[in-house]
Amino acid sequence: MSHTCFATAPKNLEALLAEEIRQLGISNARDTRGGVTFQASLAEAYRVCLWSRVANRVLLQLATFVADAAETLYAGVQSIHWPAHFTTANTFAVDLNLSSSNLTHSQFAALKAKDAIVDQFRTHTGERPSVDTEQPDIRINIYLFRNQATLYLDLSGGSLHRRGYRARAGAAPMKENLAAAILLRANWPAIAKTGGSFIDPMCGSGTLPIEAALIAGDIAPGLLQQQFGFLQWLQHDSTAWAEELRNAKARAEAGRQHIPPIRGYDQDAAAVRIAQQNVRIAGLDDRIQIVKQALQACAPLNADERGLIVVNPPYGERLGADSDLPALYSQLGDVLKARFQQWQLAVFTGNPELVRHLGLRSNRQHALYNGPIACKLVHYHVTPEASFVTAQAPRGLPAEKRSEGAAMLANRLRKNQKNLQRWLKQENVHAYRLYDADMPEYAVVVDVYEGIQRWVHVQEYQAPKSIDAEKARFRLKEAMGVIAEVLEVDESRLFFKVRKQQKGKAQYEKLGESKHFHEIEEYGCRFLVNFQDYLDTGLFLDHRPIRKLIAAQVAGKDFLNLFAYTGTASVYAARGGARSTTTVDMSNTYLEWAQRNMRLNGFAGKHHQFIQEDCLQWLTHAPRQQRYDVIFLDPPSFSTSKRMEQTFDVQRDHVDLIHQAVQRLRPDGLLIFSNNLRSFKLDTAALTDLKIEDVTRQTIPKDFERNPKIHQCYFIRTHSDANRPE
């Protein structure tokens, strides 16, 4: 039986929790404000309680009803047969949150709901259960929004951040699920799998090292929990729970053998004693080393050791005045630069201004919260001194230092925003091009991505040698300041690249290794984009109408996606009702990305195939009887790699490529051919055996109307007499 569930999450961690729940085998998990909704069996819901490192609570929905007054709230709660859920021997509590409703006093509303439950028991049994607000056997959660109540049973019982290993906490303790989220954002699971070490040089009560060991050891964070909310529930499935526990214990037993070196240091002897005690309770004292040691003495075990350093230094909140903090951050930076080159670093702070004293250049940031405190998680790759000033987005000039041209740029951005506003709303578009070197003096491309928050992807067209470099740099600084101001984004959500003509394999080379993805929605499809590691983000915005055309053509048909990149066209085909999809690309990185995009949209199984191969070679040797109804062919302008036997030039080679692709079409099939070479000319004289329809104009979206040569697109079909029998 499937149940509607909701897992609550700390602010800004909803997407991370959704991904975690999907990795637990629940593919329908969708992040929303405050948490993640999903459909699950009881066994799957128990699994989330046991395994989630990020969630606060896991709630099972019992009912929804209108509660526009105390009387309707009372009636709605009484509509549930409570003796089917617990007995008068159990204690219970009601937590109620409300907003934008006729009822405005949460304590009064919670009392009314409690009365409804008690009165029902009195009527049925003559007895009443007791209320225990601290440690109830059964906890009921009610969320009342706009007079609509959703009533849940709290399966977790208490907050899941309380793992059970913390005997005592030091000053300003970090919640366990926040520590786990920091480690997940810092890519610790991948680093641990390669044997990388973990160090926290200011470990306090040891939360980060313990969570690092639990992750690396494949140890469920709920194994130390003694009390879950579902254990006293009358509909509890003890068999399913026993099986989940058995599997988790087996994984922990096997996984703890693979925990890499994990060390925590602190100069406070009392904090070290607390951390050591917590480690013992967690059963990890043979896997985690906690040592009293000053920051200046921190060093790798040997010259070859590599791994991840995560540190949560003081930042002036709760811990007193911060007059000495710049010196502390500077000292931390000196130690890292001197001894930890080639290590990954993540710094969690509630005062982002302090991180500049590290003397390091960050490569990405996350906005998180430590309780009510807005914080930043700043990521670094600690490299030799010479690379600390690598070319990154220049800091934007403040308004008072900009020229009149910058004001014109600001006006143009606002004008473009206004012109697109109605269209964006009508089309429900969340990622779009706002500006494409509209003013030659400011030769940048500005793409806006709206997801959980707004991200802006800026690309600078490399200035020709005839342009004074200092003048070009000044204008770029103006542009960055204007973009951040007009679009209301801070530096952590403003990504910058220099776009220059790519030749050979350079067009495929990575720019970074952040492996950090954000989720974007497009016409009901969901895609993962990466703003840092590649020149492009994983989603060609100008192909939006082409993808819609594909979805409209494929219902009940077999679809082939060649040069598939991140598989966005395959997602549209699957969503459009394709009988099958086949996704072919030479890059394993992009093919894995495509598979993640498909899974994100709920598409998996034998009807969706992924083939890693050079498309040119695959077309020549794949079984001839393998035919498709719709083929999307979107080759690069030019390509070469070690795995290719020859170079590819779309202008030179498109005729042969189209003919090869057409051989894979069934009778009455459709080939959709697209490319983005601005000077491209289709050789119609060499393609007279085919029916060709130029659909370029109808595939240029409104946000690219200023640049109609962004791509070319054709519908290609065979003549009836050109169809040869298989």
Tens of pLDDT, residue by residue over 98-132, are 999 999 999 999 999 999 999 999 999 999 999 99
Q: Are 418 and 371 members of one domain? A: no
What is the pLDDT, as a whole number, of residue 387?
A: 32
The CATH number for 442's domain is 3.30.750.80
Residue that is last in its domain, among 360, 387, 414: 387
Going by C-beta distance under 8 Å and a sequence separation of 6 or more, which residues neighbour residue 399?
481, 485
Number of C-beta neighbours around residue 534 at 10 A:
20
Is the residue at 229 inside a domain? no
Against a cut of 0.85, is the pTM above it? Answer: no
The CATH number for 112's domain is 3.30.2130.30
* Structure tokens belonging to residue 503: 């030749």
Is the residue at 448 inside a domain? yes
Is the residue at 245 inside a domain? no
d(CA 398, CA 383) in angstroms, rounded, equals 30
Q: Are 562 and 646 members of one domain? A: yes
What is the domain range of residue 314?
176-221+256-387
pLDDT above 90: residue 552: yes
d(CA 37, CA 27) in angstroms, rounded, equals 11
pLDDT above 50: residue 676: yes
Q: Are 292 and 421 members of one domain? A: no
Is the residue at 167 inside a domain? no
Is the residue at 183 inside a domain? yes
**Distance in angstroms between the alpha carbons of the first and the last residue of the chain:** 47
Q: Are 379 and 430 members of one domain? A: no
Residue 173: pLDDT band with limits 50, 70, 90:
confident
Highest mean pLDDT among 439-443, 458-462, 534-538: 439-443
Taking Cα atoms as reference points, which of 380, 389, 386, 377 lies closest to residue 344?
A: 380
Is the residue at 226 inside a domain? no
pLDDT above 70: residue 392: no
Q: Are 525 and 486 members of one domain? A: no
Is the residue at 242 inside a domain? no
Q: Are 684 and 571 members of one domain? A: yes
Q: What is the mean pLDDT of residues 324-345?
A: 87
Q: Are 415 and 280 members of one domain? A: no
pLDDT above 70: residue 320: no
Is the residue at 250 inside a domain? no
The CATH number for 697's domain is 3.40.50.150
What is the pLDDT, as a whole number, of residue 507?
A: 41
- Helices assigned H by DSSP within 467-559: 469-487, 544-553
Q: Are 382 and 413 members of one domain? A: no
> What is the 8-class DSSP label of residue 397?
P
Number of structural domains in the chain: 4
Tens of pLDDT, residue by residue over 133-147, are 989 999 999 999 999
Q: Are 312 and 439 members of one domain? A: no
Q: Are 481 and 622 members of one domain? A: no
Residue 417: pLDDT band with limits 50, 70, 90:
very high
Residue 391: pLDDT band with limits 50, 70, 90:
very low
Q: Are 527 and 461 members of one domain? A: no
Please report which helix (H) or strand (E) contains residue 96, including its range. Answer: strand 91-99
Name the average pLDDT for the chain. 89
Q: Are 47 and 188 members of one domain? A: no
Tens of pLDDT, residue by residue over 466-512, are 667 778 888 888 999 999 999 998 877 888 887 654 444 334 344 44
- Using the structure block, give the residue that is written with the tokens 């395959």: 570
Tens of pLDDT, residue by residue over 617-629, are 899 888 878 899 9
